[in-house]
Amino acid sequence: MKEKEEENIISMYPEEQKQLDKEWYKSIPAQVFLNYFFAINYHLDHYEGMGLQQLAYFKEVPAELPEEDVEAIKKLLLNSWNTEYALRTTAELGDENYIRNALHWTFPQAYYTVFASLQAFLHTRQIKTSNESLVMREAGRLIVKNAYPQAMSFYASGHYDDFRINRLPLAHYKPGLQIAGKELEAQSQIGQFLKTTRRMKAKAVRQQVQANPNTAIRSSRTGEVLQKFGPQHWQQLTWRMGYTTLFDLLARLRISNSHREIERFVQADIDFRLFHESLLQIVSYLNGIHECYVAQAMSLQQYEAFVQELPAYLQNSFVAARLQDRVKPLLQDDEQQLRTAA
């Protein structure tokens, strides 16, 4: 995370904080990143809103899946679970230093395990693609359509530098540099994260569009490819961006693709174990939601049989725990309601 990309976040804090020792000062960008993901986890854990069982979208059971779709979904789930298994193993094996240096792979693992389970969910709705931008666009639409629990249904929309934060009523407050201990602090930090991520997304779209002579926005006067954008030019790109959601925030974890960028985190003085725990809980929350949708589409009986046939290292693991704690109670309660209504 670059300071400029996070809106020169250091300048947001009082002058006396800028006088802290040099090593801690260097850690501020990493600390802010930790704060963001801790805030997300805090919000998911504390926000009281409608869960899956109350959503109209969840009650719209999809058509029965053909066998080839079931097999494709199983492969996607297995990819997700293998990646989550690797992410969890890091926590079990390592001390603070190990977890610190493991960021090179744990950051992308946290993103890709969720991405694979999201693909599995989309597959139950006949959206079959591995194209990342298409998957993220569909995920954004589903969030806006209330296919997810209210706790994670927040999103950013709007044109460059005219962004709107939706479904986070406390997001307009100024975020602090402390770990969130209240819902106000969590929402303000998530709101800031949504804004900076949408800004980065807009710049990336502009770069892609302007690099292609066939799509580049040109000066109406000279016909040359525009180098400077005004509000009217940014508005021409907004439709390409879709909505900015929790999935886009998780995608920021791919910064480990840049060795220089990840090294800044490794050298920072932050609580790496807390960071890892926050990511694990967010991953478990999101994967659990997708597993509920998949089990509903496959039938609970078929999903249970699949879980029982998993490789030995996944037997009696987090997969079975979520099945017992989240999937079965939700779907059995749903079936009971249908029988009662009949």
Q: Are the beta carbons of 290 and 121 closer than 8 angstroms?
A: yes
Q: Are the beta carbons of 247 and 138 closer than 8 angstroms?
A: no
83-101 tens-digit pLDDT: 999 999 998 877 888 998 8
The secondary structure of 180-210, three-state, reads CCCHHHHHHHHHHHHHHHHHHHHHHHHHHHH
pLDDT confidence tier of residue 71, bands split at 50, 70 and 90 = very high
Bigger pLDDT: 192 vs 15 = 192
4-49 tens-digit pLDDT: 545 444 444 444 444 444 555 567 788 999 999 999 999 999 999 9
291-317 tens-digit pLDDT: 999 999 999 999 999 999 999 999 999
Amino acid making up residue 222: T
Is residue 334's pLDDT more than 90? no
131-185 tens-digit pLDDT: 999 999 999 999 999 999 999 999 999 999 899 999 999 999 999 889 999 999 9
Q: With CA atoms as reference, report the closest residue to 164 among 177, 175, 152, 154.
A: 154
| Residue 95: predicted pLDDT | 82
Q: Are the beta carbons of 303 and 327 closer than 8 angstroms?
A: yes
Sole residue written with tokens 């609580």: 271
Sole residue written with tokens 């220089």: 260
Q: Are the beta carbons of 190 and 171 closer than 8 angstroms?
A: yes
pLDDT confidence tier of residue 254, bands split at 50, 70 and 90 = confident
Mean pLDDT of the chain: 89
Q: Which long-range contacts (CB under 8 A, 24 or more apart) does 314-318 make?
A: 314/81, 314/82, 314/85, 317/81, 317/85, 318/84, 318/85, 318/88, 318/284
How many angstroms separate the CA atoms of 248 and 242, rounded? 11
Sole residue written with tokens 């997001």: 171
Q: Which two tokens stand for residue 252?
A: 């920021």
Sole residue written with tokens 């006949």: 126
